[in-house]
Chain A
């Protein structure tokens, strides 16, 4: 049992939202807030009282906590290169995917609980996009499970090496897919814009309109953790094998690069029209299928 990976993810989760905001500010010619500002905002939320809708019932009460816990549990399954994750067992990649699904299930209920048309819309969109995105993630995990013939994150990444050119291609494809999936998962551009002020165009933000105080704080922290988790997965694919401190530095570097890339993407990319989103997400599924075919070719099963 190793806490290194989890510590790295926690650190990344604290920094990534700040870096994204900073990069976006710099590219648009502003100075921007400090790197820790998003976390300070969350801390302030955690110290505040709450307002609950008179319509709401138990879902609003427990959903934020369940959402946080689902992401928090998934966090312990992600390794760091050769360093195994805190819990690892054959098949943990499925627990990872489905734990995130559980969180989403409750967040959707949380949105429907307030009895508002806006939040229903957000819930609907979130459910719809995540159902479209899930196959891509599972197919990607399946591909790498096949490549390494293991089905646990820790073992897959321990046996994943970037020695050959063909595995570089695969790693690049995987990194691209995970980057896009993380943007969908966290409701960022181009699928959703966290900065929008119009309820009708929101996806994630509109779902938590009636959450406040502590609950809102943990929801936002869970989102930051998701960034950390996805950046760690990407780093696992891209980081070459190194020992000791070098590994930590490489990992941290890639995770921070991820944040910069997200910031740049958000600065220069416009959001899609709502009806374009399903197409975009389904394209990712086909990229995942393509990755699988590439993997088949590499392992000499095809051709």
Chain B
């Protein structure tokens, strides 16, 4: 089959999505799954062919299903993102069956139809985003993606705050759309070519920084770079967990995809642009994880971690661009390889974490860390999966997160000594990445420890049970890939390295990959030694313990053994030490009734609550918005309600325009 035939087949499958509206309620998920699986098979076929032959596939969307005859192109970058989209969508639909089961009796048939219809169309839209390259079709696909995700976020739209969050989200997505639209329009006006092809011509002949920033703002809102991040901590907790997993794992990567496409077109001002990207990304990664630590809401915490990880991906991209400006092939290769691998990695462990959060919510009906605890005993499988994903997201060996952070660190080490400015920049990168890593360990030991270890902090978590295998199955799939990438990074190298020549631009030679491959092989060896020695020591331990008496007793309480679960460290107290060194930044507000001198024996039960305000959102979004609202209120005088006045305004405007044109001022 040639490309156009497979495209037609994919279009037919997309059209069949209307079937979701017809089939009975419990058949909607299997229908969506079947459709998604068929679409994934086709698009994975494209990706396979691109990786296999190294050629670029191109074809046309047929006009039958599209108002516009637009060209599709699958190169190695699209192919990599296609794989991510497919895997993310499949696991999301698989997980949704168990997760939405309690809603089957509550939600109507139509609500389920709409949900699965848009879930499938989110995948379709993302597939289109990574394959279309002309301006208008790309934007249409981009818009479908935003609408689909909006519809998915507001699944529980009967709750007012969820609907509000959804609207907040869709407004921000349209601000993003505006930036990208403005960018494409300006480029087309200047060069006469629409889409990314025009961008190549534009960047060749014009100053790049402003245009790059325009696109970066648009795509950066989708991706969640600080200061464009404020929708993430709102939208992810509101959405059902399989949707948060798909959005955080896969959809925000479309922003990264857009940025990478623009980077491919860049030709001048590389050092400045690279520096801007690197600095913004460092800020995103450090502050993302810093804010995450203060969250009690599990999904909100994960949302802030998405910002952190987008930051890490951006650090890789920024380093790659700086490497291009230095003409240093190794830095370019390692930077972009780190970014691409981290895109893959984050899509894996973040969706896994969100699915685990979904399982926890499904059992305990709360996402408040301070009400969870001791879940490992009742949900051991979810616990193991969560631990695995936590280790991976902290970038610790032997899992996949380590490999991508390794690449980025490595590019920094190669870059030290390239010149005073870049050396200091790369040292700042090492510092930022190290702080991020440390904070991530802080945050995820807290999260895992508070949720799964110790004693239950409320009744709801005391009666949890392990979720059914149907929900665990997609999570095990993700876990297997996390392990494979972690232990055998060489196995995924062909997929990761394919798009790098695109990003590195034609002028640059490919570095010698032999030392890199050697290192990856040695990494596997080191991990192997660690695992083998672990098994040996474990066997010795078992042998030793089999011969000695093992007893169980209460936890050491310093003589006080009547402890209860409230004596444990909580999410709030764990974060307190960090709050102590940066109280102004953390934005943590506490509410409690202080104990006075006369209350030596307080009788009433006192509450101590804390909540965290996103300082950056407050300064960058809420305050300007308020200020703008106040300004606009001044103009309310003009709204008199009398038609004569409105006609007068119109007349005034026409006269003004006529005057200005005659005077040739505009």
Measured CA separation A138–B557 after assembly (Å): 38
A146 touches B417 (CB 8 A): yes
B416 touches A46 (CB 8 A): no
Stretch of B230-238, B301-309, B563-571, B647-655 that contacts chain A = B563-571
B513 in the interface (beta carbon within 8 A): no
Q: A124-B574, A131-B441 are in contact. Are A139 and B552 (CB under 8 A)?
A: no
Question: Which chain A positions have C-beta within 8 A of B413?
Answer: 91, 142, 145-146, 151
Q: A54-B552, A57-B376, A99-B397 are in contact. Are A89 and B529 (CB under 8 A)?
A: no
B3 in the interface (beta carbon within 8 A): no
Q: A142-B430, A145-B413, A275-B580 are in contact. Are A57 and B453 (CB under 8 A)?
A: yes
Stretch of A65-73, A173-181, A186-194, A233-241 that contacts chain B = A65-73
B454 touches A55 (CB 8 A): yes
Q: A89-B522, A112-B454, A151-B414 are in contact. Are A210 and B442 (CB under 8 A)?
A: no
B530 touches A99 (CB 8 A): yes
Interface string of B320-340 (1 = CB under 8 A from A): 000000000000000000000
Nearest residue, chain A, Cβ from B564: A115
Q: Which of B419, B442, B449, B526 contacts A109 (CB 8 A)?
A: B449
Measured CA separation A278–B442 after assembly (Å): 15
Stretch of A9-17, A256-264, A294-302 that contacts chain B = A294-302
B550 touches A52 (CB 8 A): yes
Question: Which chain B positions have C-beta within 8 A of A94?
Answer: 406, 409-410
B453 touches A59 (CB 8 A): yes
Measured CA separation A42–B380 after assembly (Å): 32
Question: Which chain A positions have C-beta within 8 A of B545?
Answer: 49-50, 213-214
Question: Which chain A positions have C-beta within 8 A of B563?
Answer: 115-117
Minimum CB–CB distance from B234 to chain A (whole Å) comes to: 27
B438 touches A131 (CB 8 A): yes
B431 touches A135 (CB 8 A): yes
Question: Which chain B positions have C-beta within 8 A of A98?
Answer: 395-397, 402, 406, 437
Question: Which chain A positions have C-beta within 8 A of B454?
Answer: 55, 112-115, 120
Measured CA separation A299–B419 after assembly (Å): 10
Q: A73-B526, A94-B409, A99-B397 are in contact. Are A49 and B551 (CB under 8 A)?
A: yes
Stretch of B64-72, B533-541, B615-623 that contacts chain A = B533-541
Minimum CB–CB distance from B22 to chain A (whole Å) comes to: 47
Question: Which chain A positions have C-beta within 8 A of B567?
Answer: 116-117
Question: Which chain A positions have C-beta within 8 A of B452?
Answer: 57
Measured CA separation A5–B526 after assembly (Å): 17
B212 in the interface (beta carbon within 8 A): no
A69 touches B455 (CB 8 A): no
B427 touches A142 (CB 8 A): yes
B445 touches A53 (CB 8 A): no
Q: A115-B454, A116-B556, A214-B541 are in contact. Are A139 and B569 (CB under 8 A)?
A: no
A2 in the interface (beta carbon within 8 A): no
B130 in the interface (beta carbon within 8 A): no
Question: Which chain B positions have C-beta within 8 A of A163?
Answer: none
Q: How large is the interface on B (under 10, 10 to 19, 20 to 34, 35 or more residues)?
A: 35 or more
A118 in the interface (beta carbon within 8 A): yes
B434 in the interface (beta carbon within 8 A): yes
B453 touches A53 (CB 8 A): no
Interface string of B422-446 (1 = CB under 8 A from A): 0100110011011101110110111
A54 touches B537 (CB 8 A): no
A90 in the interface (beta carbon within 8 A): yes
B137 in the interface (beta carbon within 8 A): no
Q: A53-B554, A118-B558, A131-B442 are in contact. Are A105 and B518 (CB under 8 A)?
A: no
Question: Which chain A positions have C-beta within 8 A of B533?
Answer: 69, 72-73
A245 in the interface (beta carbon within 8 A): no
Question: Which chain A positions have C-beta within 8 A of B373?
Answer: 115
Interface string of B555-588 (1 = CB under 8 A from A): 1111000010101110001101110110000000
A199 in the interface (beta carbon within 8 A): yes
A24 in the interface (beta carbon within 8 A): no
Q: Which of B420, B430, B439 contacts A301 (CB 8 A)?
A: B420
Question: Which chain A positions have C-beta within 8 A of B420?
Answer: 296, 301-302
Nearest residue, chain B, Cβ from A113: B453
B468 in the interface (beta carbon within 8 A): no
B549 in the interface (beta carbon within 8 A): yes
B434 touches A146 (CB 8 A): no
Interface string of A114-132 (1 = CB under 8 A from B): 1111111101110110111
B544 in the interface (beta carbon within 8 A): yes
A58 touches B450 (CB 8 A): no
Measured CA separation A139–B434 after assembly (Å): 9
Q: Which of B377, B397, B434, B544 contacts A134 (CB 8 A)?
A: B434
B555 touches A114 (CB 8 A): yes
A130 touches B438 (CB 8 A): yes
Q: A94-B410, A138-B430, A146-B417 are in contact. Are A278 and B581 (CB under 8 A)?
A: yes
Segment 43-94 of A: residues with Cβ below 8 Å from B = 46-59, 62, 65-66, 68-70, 72-73, 76-77, 87, 89-92, 94
A149 in the interface (beta carbon within 8 A): yes
Question: Which chain A positions have C-beta within 8 A of B541?
Answer: 65, 214-215, 218
Minimum CB–CB distance from B575 to chain A (whole Å) comes to: 9
Q: A120-B573, A142-B413 are in contact. Are A90 and B553 (CB under 8 A)?
A: no
A128 touches B397 (CB 8 A): no
Measured CA separation A116–B438 after assembly (Å): 24
A112 touches B569 (CB 8 A): yes
Measured CA separation A218–B567 after assembly (Å): 29
Q: A145-B413, A299-B417 are in contact. Are A121 and B569 (CB under 8 A)?
A: yes
Interface string of A93-116 (1 = CB under 8 A from B): 011001101101100110111111
A128 touches B558 (CB 8 A): no
Question: Which chain B positions have C-beta within 8 A of A99?
Answer: 397, 530
Measured CA separation A93–B161 after assembly (Å): 49
Measured CA separation A64–B78 after assembly (Å): 44
Q: A55-B455, A72-B533, A142-B430 are in contact. Are A101 and B449 (CB under 8 A)?
A: no
A131 touches B416 (CB 8 A): no
A209 in the interface (beta carbon within 8 A): yes
Q: Which of B434, B444, B552, B577 contacts A128 (CB 8 A)?
A: B577
Interface string of A261-303 (1 = CB under 8 A from B): 0000000000000010010000001000100100010010110
Nearest residue, chain A, Cβ from B377: A57
Q: Which of A57, A65, A87, A302 contacts B522 (CB 8 A)?
A: A87
Question: Which chain A positions have C-beta within 8 A of B160?
Answer: none
A138 touches B434 (CB 8 A): yes
Measured CA separation A128–B438 after assembly (Å): 8
B394 in the interface (beta carbon within 8 A): yes
Measured CA separation A124–B572 after assembly (Å): 11
Since A105-B394, A119-B555, A139-B431 are in contact, a sample of 18 more A-B pairs with Cβ atoms closer than 8 Å, ordered by chain A residue number, is A55-B455, A57-B452, A57-B453, A91-B519, A94-B409, A95-B397, A98-B397, A101-B437, A109-B448, A116-B556, A116-B568, A119-B569, A128-B578, A130-B438, A139-B430, A149-B417, A214-B544, A275-B580
22 contacts between A and B (CB under 8 A): A49-B550, A53-B552, A70-B530, A89-B523, A99-B397, A101-B396, A105-B444, A112-B450, A113-B453, A116-B555, A116-B568, A117-B567, A119-B555, A120-B454, A120-B569, A124-B574, A127-B442, A128-B442, A146-B416, A151-B414, A213-B548, A302-B420
Binding site for A on B (CB under 8 A): 373-374, 376-377, 380, 383, 387, 391, 394-397, 402, 406, 409-410, 412-414, 416-417, 419-420, 423, 426-427, 430-431, 433-435, 437-439, 441-442, 444-446, 448-450, 452-455, 515, 518-519, 522-523, 525-526, 529-530, 533-534, 537-538, 541, 544-545, 548-558, 563, 565, 567-569, 573-574, 576-578, 580-581
Give me the 4 closest cross-chain CB pairs, A-B, nearest first. Answer: A120-B569, A131-B438, A112-B449, A115-B454
